[in-house]
Amino acid sequence: MTEIKTTAPETTGPIDSFLSEWTSAERAGDNGELEHLLTDDFYGVGPLGFLLPKEAWLARHRQGLNYETFDLEQIQIHLYAGVALVTAQNNTRGSYQGQPIPEAVRATLAIVNSSGHRRLAAIHMSFMAGAPGSPPIPTPARTRSA
C-alpha cells in the first residue's frame, strides 16, 4: 500500500486500521463484516454514476462479484471533526457476473465516527483514464474543412 498522508501519522492510525479491515472484507466478500463496517445510510457511487444503498452494495457479492485483489494506494487522509475524507487509488482484479471489472479507480471515502466505531458512510468511484477496463481517453473531434 503506497501512502501519501496529509495529516500526522499518529492521528491517522485508526483510519489506516479501518481501511485495512474494509479492504480485507471487500476482497473476501465478507458481508457479515461489511454489514458492521458500513453505516445504515451508506451509499456507494460507481464509476458510471449508479447509486447503491447499503443493501444493494452488500448484494454485489451475492450476485457474482468476485475479487482476486482489492487494495488501496496513493492514500490521502483529511481529518475533520468526526469525519475522515480519504482519497485513494483502488486497485482491483476480479469479475462481476463473469465480466472483468476495471483494474483501477479513484475512490473518495467518507469515514465517520459512529457510536465510538469507525464506519464507511459513502464511497464515490471514478474511472482512471488509461487504466485497464476503463473507457478510452477521449480524443478531440476533428472538424471537416468545407
Residue 145 is assigned to a structural domain of this protein = no
* Tens digits of pLDDT across the chain (146 residues): 444 555 555 578 999 999 999 999 999 999 999 999 999 999 999 988 999 999 999 999 999 999 999 999 999 999 998 899 999 999 999 999 999 888 899 999 999 998 889 999 999 999 887 676 777 777 777 666 65
Q: Show the domain range for 122.
A: 9-127
23 belongs to a structural domain: yes
Give the residue from 33, 22, 34, 27 showing the smallest Cα distance to 68.
27
Return the beta strands (E) in the chain as ranges: 38-45, 51-53, 65-80, 83-96, 99-100, 104-114, 117-127
Write the CATH number for 96.
3.10.450.50
Domain count, the chain: 1
pTM summary value: 0.84
